[in-house]
Amino acid sequence: MKIIGGPSSQTLACRVAAQLNIVPTITHFERFPDNEQYLRITEDIGGQDVVLIQSTATDSDLVALLQLLDACESAKSVKAVIPYMGYARQDKLFKPGEAVSARAMARTVTADNLEAVYTINIHEKSVLKHFKCPAYDLDASPLIAEYIVSLGLKEPLLVAPDKGVRAMVENMARGLSLDQASFDKIRLDGATVEMKGGDLDITGRDVIIVDDMIATGGTMAEAVKILGKNGARDVYTACIHPVLSRNAVLRLANAGVKDIMATDTIEKVQSRISTAPIIVGALKK
């Protein structure tokens, strides 16, 4: 098996390869003078089973994934791991005439030898049906739960900032016999939210707010402020996908967050929890 990392998922590809005792294949990528991307897989992969790992947090990342798929034309089989799939939040029509962007993205990820696609905690699982090959979503939340436990926090309480992640947070808390609570969120615009339901007695406890992603940080900043006012000792944030767009890191620090914990579906300094074990588990199945 060959493990081929794209530009956005080099570290994760190396971690997956290491767990499988495979040396990762070198992919060469650069830009032409007109800024178009160039990509070349530097080993002969003809007749081989290959695994591509490339998140698509940016438009350029998606182009690189399409180039990787094309460069694998001579491979016997290809599995594409897209740890973070961008555009997955527009999974339906909100207004007439809109593009269902998640569907558009899924439809582009195709090749004759593409056997399977794996995503991690995709925003909406219904998007998986738009891929032209079997597609599976892996759950990284148990890895975050294990990490939280390893921190030895004081009477930790897990909090879901909205109903979209309530079930995930309930599962995490149940598995670890931790307490959990949740907010109701009303989104006012792309970067501003209002939270309801934060009347919790959390005096002196450490609280960890868990979401599938932190984008502008608006959701987390609001929740951190409420929990701080309610007497929490330290408030942490944890997410699967650290999109951390615009000034999200500064907003969270300003709101009083103690730490931002995240997985390596998007490679940032906050990505201390590796999703390699669940990818390896899925590949071995």
| Catalytic residue IDs | 185
Map the chain to HEC letters.
CEEEECHHHHHHHHHHHHHCCCCCECEEEEECCCCCEEEEECCCCCCCEEEEECCECCHHHHHHHHHHHHHCCCCCEEEEEECCECCCCCCCCCCCCCCCHHHHHHHHCCCCCEEEEEEECCCCHHHHHHCCCCEEEECCHHHHHHHHHHCCCCCCEEEECCHHHHHHHHHHHHHHCCEEEECEEEEEECCEEEEECCCCCCCCCCEEEEEEEECCCHHHHHHHHHHHHCCCCCEEEEEEEECCCCCHHHHHHHHCCCEEEEECCCCCCCCCECCHHHHHHHHHC
Residue with tokens 């530097």, as numbered in its chain: 42
Footprint of ligand R5P on residues 185-204 (CB under 6 A)?
Answer: 191, 193
Site residues (CB under 6 A) for ligand R5P, limited to 62-121: none
Q: Is 208 in the site for ligand R5P (CB under 6 A)?
A: no
Choose one: 5-13, 69-77, 90-98, 211-219; the region binding ligand R5P (CB under 6 A). Answer: 211-219
Min CB(6)–ligand R5P separation in Å: 23
Closest CB to ligand R5P among residues 13, 257: 257
Give whichever of 124 and 179 is closer to ligand R5P, judged by the CB atom: 124
212 binds ligand R5P (CB under 6 A): yes
Q: Does 122 bind ligand R5P (CB under 6 A)?
A: no
Q: Which stretch binds ligand R5P (CB under 6 A): 5-13, 50-58, 148-156, 208-216?
A: 208-216
Number of residues that bind ligand R5P (CB under 6 A): 15
> Binding to ligand R5P by residue 214, rule CB under 6 A?
yes
Which residue matches tokens 């891929």?
131
Instruction: Say whether residue 61 binds ligand R5P (CB under 6 A).
Output: no
Q: Is 242 in the site for ligand R5P (CB under 6 A)?
A: no
Kindly tell me which residue out of 9, 180, 219, 265 binds ligand R5P, with binding defined by CB under 6 A: 219
From the CB of 243, what's the least distance to ligand R5P, in Å?
7
Shortest spacing between CB 211 and ligand R5P, in angstroms: 5
Q: Is 213 in the site for ligand R5P (CB under 6 A)?
A: yes
Q: In whole angstroms, how close is the CB of 261 to ligand R5P at the nearest point?
A: 15
Which residues of this protein are in contact with ligand R5P, per CB under 6 A? 161-162, 164-165, 191, 193, 211-219
